[in-house]
Structure 1
Amino acid sequence: MHDTHAVAEGAAVRRPQSHGEAPADDHGKSMAGHGGAGHDHAAMVADFRRRFWISLALTLPVLVLSPMIQAVFGLQSRLSFAGSGYVLFALSACVFFYGGWPFLTGMAGELRQRKPGMMTLIAVAISVAFFYSSAVVFGLTGKVFFWELVTLIDIMLVGHWIEMRSVMGASGALEALVRLLPSSAHRLGTDGALTEVPVTELVPGDRVLVRPGEKVPIDGVILEGRSSFNEAMLTGESRPVEKAEGEEAVGGAVNGEGAVTLEVRKTGDQTYLSQVIDMVRQAQDTRSRTQDLANRAALWLTYIALSAGGLTLAFWLGAGKGFEFALERMVTVMVITCPHALGLAVPLVVAVSTRLTARNGLLIRDRAAFERARNLTAVLFDKTGTLTEGRFGVAGIVTLADLDEDEVLSWAAALESRSQHPIAQGIVRSAGERGVPTRTVENFRSLTGQGAEAVSEGHVVRVVSPGYLREHAVSVDDSAVKDLAAEGHTVVYVLLDERPVGAIALADVIRPESFEAVNRLKAMGIQCMMVTGDATPVARTVAGRLGLDDYFAEVLPQQKVEKVREVKQRGLTVAMIGDGVNDAPALVESDLGIAIGAGTEVAIESADVVLVRSDPRDVFAIMALSRATYAKMVQNLLWATGYNAFAIPLAAGVAYAWGLLLSPAAGAALMSLSTVIVAINAKLLERAKRLVAAAGAGPVQGSAR
């Protein structure tokens, strides 16, 4: 792919940036810089297309005037005329210099860098054919190769055109991300006046109005209003996200039904989208080991082709064949051996996988690390905020009187609705999820360190800790309550008029997605483990519910890195999945560091992969996509090398005794066909998007409670 870029650079016509196409950030750095290469690439595609059609138009009269074509159709007497050879030469020269110019300049670039490659092969092949045929026209004894020359150039041009279109379609992630941002915003002045200004003029502290249906111009916090935001193109989350005052809206998201006023907090390269663009670019620029292997193989194949071409010429001349026959064999060898498909085998797959991951909130910071993900044998999850939601939820209710569970929860939720304590919020939230009816409350009072009390429907309701019961000599002897406490749950008691009527066990809520994530990873043969600072009973309960292979409890943040080393000492290749903050040392120590649930804080330097959503199923998506990506790379490399191993001897004439010979044009067609096959196979990786989609959808196995 880099060869093609180098070739067409001189031929590509740069077009100016159109209005609103890619805004510059407040540092004066154009956002088009992220996608500018795409504009050049489009110009290259257009240039190859134009050269192909013009060359093809000139090819038709060349074919008509070529002696070999005339002989095949018995038209020598009808189409031959005085000076037809010179007309044939002139038309062929136009095709050679115009259609072949990208390959000639490409050869010059490769030789300047002392890295002869595909363009050198093509340029040598067409140059030998053209100058030898021209010499024949002007008096040298021999046969002209003009029709083979022009058809060879045509096939090479159309092959490059198709290939570059495939590359452009595969690597459009950066341009798609840049287009997400609008070029202007509605800024609110201190007097309430509304002014439309370029996004580049916004500074932290500015207030911006976002109307329904508009894109959020820049990252900001909602000051007024409430609305839903479609962040599908940013995070891959298809459902609109409800946001209200105090919550952050991300630049590029589409506002829903409500108008909101934002206060700008981040600009330029600090914004979420700019960080994503930088990560995508970094991933595309990162060279993997497979890529280096392909490039080395392509370089050696170039040397082999040049050597094989020379040996082929010498062999057939030594065998007594005419110079034109030996020359045709040499030209065919060099054309058919072009390492085009080999050079594209990995870059095309990388481009497709980068686009798939970027569009679904799976951000690859290190391509080599992503490649290593296919070999993982263990994943070590941080518990809080990764496998769990990091908030309290009701894990169990024990009735201690003639009330059912919903009634116990109803009394507790009525009281706790007046409190902001995390336990209170967990009870109220669970009551809402269960559809428990609400009750009126008055005279609410907090019992410092012990709970709270209030009056509801004429009854004194208290939700208190075990310490309150001990202090007031209230005895509760229930085996079910003891079992919940033994599992590490936080247990509170509900008292109605001083009488215990129930106990509510609360715990950090396990994400429903965690069950499916663990099941899928274990089905891939990957061991699933957990590390947490929580007490052993809590860790044991969570690990048991999720079916984890192992867990580490009561681990301090700075000790997590030791647990990663311990797992690696078992001979396992381990990925660490955490929130990227206090897990940073462990993320670095692991073979693959994955920061999950990063949201808009994507600049996590310690992680190799950043998952925007707080969905552990995306870990499965990354690993499955890594395996699929590597499989496509291997398939392309096997095709490219296998094709050449078969094609080189055939082009040299080993099947001549059986009457099988390949012309230079046929060789070019086969070479271009191999390139197209590699491109199509890389594009087929897009079928792997079902892996990404499956990570965020589908039936959830298990229950959080």
Structure 2
Amino acid sequence: MHNDHKMHEEHTNMGHKMHNTHTGHEHKGHHNHHAHMVADFKKRFWVSLIVTIPILILSPMIQRLIGLSNFIRFSGDLYLLFALSSFVFFYGGYPFLKGLFDEVKLSKPGMMTLIATAITTAYLYSSAVVFGLGGKIFFWEIVTLIDIMLLGHWIEMKSVMGASKALEELAKLMPSNAHKLMENGSIKDVPIDDLMVGNRVVVKPGEKIPADGKVVEGETSVNESMLTGESRPIPKKIANKVVGGSINGEGSITVEVKKIGKDSFLSQVIELVREAKESKSKTQDLANRAALWLTVIALSVGGITFFIWLAIMSKGFAFSLERAVTVMVITCPHALGLAVPLVVAVSTAISAKNGLLIRNRVSFERARNIQAIIFDKTGTLT
């Protein structure tokens, strides 16, 4: 995954550790942060795409291709082209320029380094041509590349946000309020975040149990299928344990709270899914190493291409630069860096949504070699 997204994941992990006592709110914030990133890439893409249209119209090469160079040219058109292209370069290209800085800071050059190097080299040279240097400009190539990369990142972040929704679905299993039994015998509805270990709560028929605890009054049966996979209701009586998020059956019970926040069963399940989703498999590690080496090779080949065309083939600076930038762009292992993390994240999320919790990515990869599965008498896998 790209370095800017890695930093986002590290920020998210820290948030999980600091706010585990508020399961529902934590995952809502996690989703909102992903949604903000999606909205940011979407906005940058559409704004850049709109500004790209006049850039294409003002570009001399495009004008020659459509045969309108004699009708569109006017005094100062290159300065206008420079201004519009500068906007797209700094606004649309900001994620890639920031990614370059982050990767260099960590001494881990990657795809952001390759993209940012290509667009920055072409932008600086094209700007110099506008202000008097001999050669030709590459503004339309720069902005269209930025547009394509922004579109790719927008799609990627939408996929990541979709993958994280499995955690939200798990968090939604918990009710928002509980019927707390007060010392005077009255019942008061309180947010589940206000519950403490030792509190007693009343759970009416058909309601969700608000916290892990022990039955101290009443008998019932509890549906735990969404948590354990057990399809049949489980009988519960005094001294039996119940799990927060499970659904009470036909009886009314009083439960003494034993576990809350990060210690609850549901929070541990959510943490398990999150860690599995963010952990790396062998395939992903291999893809990341391959992407790193391909990036180094692409930068090297780009430099060699420039040197050969300029020094050995005696071509002009603009001609040599154009081919060097082209080599760096087309050899960018962008798809390799996106495909594996997306496949793993989405597959883990889909599995969790269907009741399959993956604790180890390596084991998940080995699952393709499974030839037989043994079910117990209830059809449950544990």
TM-score range with shorter-chain normalisation? 0.7 to 0.9
CA contact under 8 A between 1:236 and 1:359: conserved in structure 2?
A: no
Which structure's residues are more often helix, by fraction?
A: 2
5 Å-filtered alignment, 1:171-210, equals 171-210=164-203
CA pair 152-286 structure 1, distance change in 2 beyond 3 A: closer
Matched AA of 1:292: D
Q: Does 1:142 align with 2:139?
A: no
Q: Does 1:44 align with 2:37?
A: yes
Matched AA of 1:270: D
1:251 match: 244
| SS of equivalent residue, structure 1 residue 363 | coil
2:334 match: 340
CA pair 229-330 structure 1, distance change in 2 beyond 3 A: farther
Give distance in 2, aligned partners of 1:91 and 1:308: 31
Deviation at 1:267, TM superposition (A): 1.8
Deviation at 1:212, TM superposition (A): 4.8
- The one-character-per-residue Cα deviations of 1:334-368 (angstroms, maximum 9, x if unpaired) are 12222222123332222123223333443333323
2:161 match: 168
Give distance in 2, aligned partners of 1:236 and 1:334: 50
CA contact under 8 A between 1:34 and 1:277: conserved in structure 2?
A: no
| SS of equivalent residue, structure 1 residue 142 | coil
Matched AA of 1:48: F
5 Å-filtered alignment, 1:281-320, equals 281-317=274-310, 318-320=312-314
2:147 match: 154
What is the percentage of aligned positions where both structures have the same residue? Answer: 58
Deviation at 1:314, TM superposition (A): 2.3
Deviation at 1:195, TM superposition (A): 1.2
| SS of equivalent residue, structure 2 residue 315 | coil
Give distance in 2, aligned partners of 1:71 and 1:7: 44
CA pair 512-139 structure 1, distance change in 2 beyond 3 A: closer
CA contact under 8 A between 2:48 and 2:92: conserved in structure 1?
A: yes
Deviation at 1:253, TM superposition (A): 2.8
| SS of equivalent residue, structure 2 residue 357 | strand
What is the number of residues matched between the two proteins? 375
Give distance in 1, aligned partners of 2:55 and 2:7: 26
Q: Does 1:278 align with 2:278?
A: no
CA pair 35-369 structure 1, distance change in 2 beyond 3 A: farther
Q: Does 1:221 align with 2:231?
A: no
Give distance in 1, aligned partners of 2:191 and 2:8: 34
CA pair 4-24 structure 1, distance change in 2 beyond 3 A: closer
Give distance in 1, aligned partners of 2:119 and 2:233: 59
Deviation at 1:190, TM superposition (A): 3.0
| SS of equivalent residue, structure 1 residue 265 | strand
TM-score, with structure 1 as normaliser: 0.49
Deviation at 1:220, TM superposition (A): 2.8
CA pair 93-2 structure 1, distance change in 2 beyond 3 A: closer
Deviation at 1:34, TM superposition (A): 5.7
1:352 match: 346
Give distance in 2, aligned partners of 1:183 and 1:207: 16
- The one-character-per-residue Cα deviations of 1:408-427 (angstroms, maximum 9, x if unpaired) are xxxxxxxxxxxxxxxxxxxx
| SS of equivalent residue, structure 2 residue 137 | coil
TM-score, with structure 2 as normaliser: 0.86
Give distance in 1, aligned partners of 2:235 and 2:284: 43
CA pair 2-87 structure 1, distance change in 2 beyond 3 A: closer
Q: Does 1:85 align with 2:78?
A: yes
Matched AA of 2:149: M
Q: Does 1:328 align with 2:300?
A: no
5 Å-filtered alignment, 1:334-483, equals 334-374=328-368
5 Å-filtered alignment, 1:285-684, equals 285-317=278-310, 318-374=312-368, 511=377, 513=379, 615=380, 618=381
2:122 match: 129
1:5 match: 5
Q: Does 1:108 align with 2:114?
A: no
CA RMSD of aligned residues (A): 3.1
| SS of equivalent residue, structure 1 residue 362 | coil
Matched AA of 2:335: A
1:70 match: 63
Segments of 4+ in structure 1 off by > 6 A?
376-379
Larger radius of gyration: 1
Deviation at 1:101, TM superposition (A): 0.6
Q: Which runs of 5+ in 1 are unaligned?
A: 18-22, 388-510, 514-614, 620-705
Matched AA of 1:217: P
Matched AA of 2:105: R
CA contact under 8 A between 1:6 and 1:106: conserved in structure 2?
A: no
Give distance in 2, aligned partners of 1:200 and 1:171: 23
CA pair 193-174 structure 1, distance change in 2 beyond 3 A: same
Give distance in 1, aligned partners of 2:43 and 2:226: 34
- The one-character-per-residue Cα deviations of 1:190-240 (angstroms, maximum 9, x if unpaired) are 333111222233223322123455432212334455666554543455x56
- The one-character-per-residue Cα deviations of 1:10-64 (angstroms, maximum 9, x if unpaired) are xx9x9xx9xxxxx966xx5766556654432222111111111111121111112
CA pair 227-378 structure 1, distance change in 2 beyond 3 A: closer
CA contact under 8 A between 1:233 and 1:360: conserved in structure 2?
A: no
Give distance in 2, aligned partners of 1:253 and 1:2: 39
Question: Structure 2 residue aligned with 1:241, among 233, 243, 246?
Answer: 233
CA contact under 8 A between 1:100 and 1:153: conserved in structure 2?
A: yes
Give distance in 2, aligned partners of 1:54 and 1:378: 53
Shifted more, 305-314 versus 133-142: the winner is 305-314
CA pair 53-158 structure 1, distance change in 2 beyond 3 A: same
CA contact under 8 A between 1:222 and 1:244: conserved in structure 2?
A: yes
Give distance in 2, aligned partners of 1:148 and 1:377: 51
Matched AA of 1:165: K
Q: Give the number of the structure with larger relative contact order, counting CA–CA contacts within 8 Å between residues 6 or more apart.
A: 2
| SS of equivalent residue, structure 2 residue 134 | coil
CA contact under 8 A between 1:228 and 1:240: conserved in structure 2?
A: no
Q: Which runs of 5+ in 2 are unaligned?
A: none
